[in-house]
Each structure stands twice: as structure tokens, then as C-alpha cells.
Amino acid sequence: MNARKILDRKILAIAGLCIMLTGAAFAQATCQTIQNRKNDQQGRIAQGVRSGQLTRGETRNVESRERSVNREEHAMRRADGGHLTGGDKAALTRRQNNISRSISKDKHNARVR
């Protein structure tokens, strides 16, 4: 019975350590992820324009939303001394998710240029 308790405690300690390391890695990667997603989404938009999957109106709408996210990010950084808080990162990620879904829907609808 005593050996079982020791094993359970070791498992809990390892699980806790894994959770802490994952959180630290996520926090560090988030700023890189925001920039990478900006680049990826711009590439997806450009590909949609080249292939004719995005109309001019769809492109204008998505680009406008991207500019809005960029302005919001700059304002957030100015407000916090050049850094993004956890809440800022979450808000930007949500907005990027919404834009990503819009790009996908626009590229795969029946409208073509």
C-alpha cells in the first residue's frame, strides 16, 4: 500500500512538471506564432488571388481585417511597453482564428474572379 502511494505521488509530480513546461513553451511560442500566422495568412490570401478563388471584394474585406488586427497589436504593445500580455495574445489569436475561417470560406465558396 505504501509503495502505491509513492508511485501515485511520483506520477502527480511528473504530470505537474509536464504541465509547467508546456505552459512556459506555449508562452514563448505565442509571439512567434502570431507573426507566423500573419505570414501564413498573407500567403493564403495571395494564393487565393492568384488562383482566382478570392474575388476583389473578398480580398479587400480580409485584407482590411488583417490591417485592423495589426493596428490592434501595435496599440496593445504601446500600452504595455512593447510587450503583449497573455490576454492580448489570446485576443489576437481569436481574431486571427476568425480571419483564417473567413479566408477558408471565401476561397471555397462558389464565387470566383
Instruction: Kindly state whether residue 73 falls inside one of the protein's structural domains.
Output: yes
Q: How far is CA 109 from CA 49, 80, 102, 113, in A?
A: 14, 40, 11, 12
Q: What is the pLDDT of residues 30-59, one digit of tens each?
A: 567 888 989 999 999 999 999 999 999 999
What's the whole-model pTM score? 0.69
Name the residue range of residue 52's domain: 30-107
Q: Torsion angle of alpha carbons 67, 63, 107, 45, nearest 10°? A: -90
Instruction: Kindly state whether residue 22 falls inside one of the protein's structural domains.
Output: no
Instruction: Kindly state whether residue 97 falls inside one of the protein's structural domains.
Output: yes
Instruction: Kindly state whether residue 94 falls inside one of the protein's structural domains.
Output: yes
Q: Which residue has the higher pLDDT, 35 or 20?
A: 35
Q: Per the structure, how many domains does the chain have?
A: 1
Q: What is the pLDDT of residues 83-95, one digit of tens each?
A: 999 999 999 999 9
CA atoms within 13 A on the CB side of 55: 9
Q: How far is CA 102 from CA 8, 24, 68, 73, 74, in A?
A: 47, 31, 15, 20, 23
Residue 23 is predicted with a pLDDT of 60
